[in-house]
Structure 1
């Protein structure tokens, strides 16, 4: 009992037999978002990124498993990279449809007739907790139709 009172005075909590400091600040783990990305050959890759990163940022960090063809140079120039991704039905309302320059960029980097309502630029999709566990696809693959 005295140990518990001392721990409370010092701002420590007792958990799993160890004393640890109380903390309200989020850790990196709290900001982690896990995605499954289906590549051009239909293989699934579980990748992780941080809230606030774009899908392009996450893909750049996993080029060793996703392959160089996952990204291309952006039509915007400035040595930036871009990718054409497909969103599942449940996320379509969360990301506005492609218009203007986005539509033109998608037409430039996508395969002919591959751009549809599910298409988005990877740089325009920002990771958030709502995306945790989502399946995204590169180009013409629709993994949610086969599940």
Structure 2
């Protein structure tokens, strides 16, 4: 009791210094409050600032909120999310062979944000081959390949549908009657084993 009373008396006399919380800036930076109010503390971008959220409709009509980082391809985001391996196939590009890709339907509202590929280039030839050999009659006006879509803030909130492929052309053990799900995921085996 006596200690509490003594503490109250000392606080009322302002003899106990009030310790201000420390603020950490750069090693050599010395800021006063006035300067801080003018410019504010430095803001470092976080991973959260780079997140892009895409709604993906799978082959069974189920919606998935897929998050990826800006600069990542949509194919990479789909793989990291854990879509079945049967949704993917090897890209046929000269420099991108064996990179997993997926057929997606992009809404017309976002079509202008998709990169243009010169149909006469090597990459354009690879895209034509993938449509001819893998997508076949599942191709629509809004069909695109996920490895060519780079995530960025302008695509945040976009909804895409996973488009069917003809997996039995590439994988005889995946010749199934219209069911595009399997327990195997893209990360379950090295890519070389999947496509080799």
**Under a length normalisation based on structure 1, what TM-score does the superposition of the two structures give?**
0.73
Change (3 A) 1:23 1:103: farther
Q: 1:31 aligns with which of 25, 38, 50?
A: 50
Instruction: Name the larger-Rg structure.
Output: 2
1:104 matched to 2:121? no
Distance 2:67 2:156 in 1: 9
The match for 2:107 among 88, 92, 112 is 88
Higher strand share: 1
Kindly indicate whether residue 32 of structure 2 is the aligned counterpart of residue 9 of structure 1: yes
Q: Tell me if the contact between 1:35 and 1:135 (Cα under 8 Å) persists in the aligned partners.
A: yes
Distance 1:23 1:107 in 2: 52
Partner of 1:74: 91
Which residue matches 2:158? 134
Unaligned runs of at least 5 residues, structure 2: 1-19, 24-30, 165-196
| Aligned residue number for residue 143 of structure 1 | none
Q: Which residue of 1 aligns with 2:144?
A: 120
Does the 8 Å contact 2:115/2:148 carry over to 1?
no
Residue 31 (structure 1) shift: 0.4
**Distance across 2 between alignment mates of 1:97 and 1:69:** 27
Give the alignment partner of residue 74 of structure 2, picking from 41, 55, 66: 55
Contact 1:75 1:108 in 2 (8 A): no
Taking a change above 3 Å as real, the CA distance of residues 126 and 46 of structure 1, as seen in their structure-2 partners, is: same
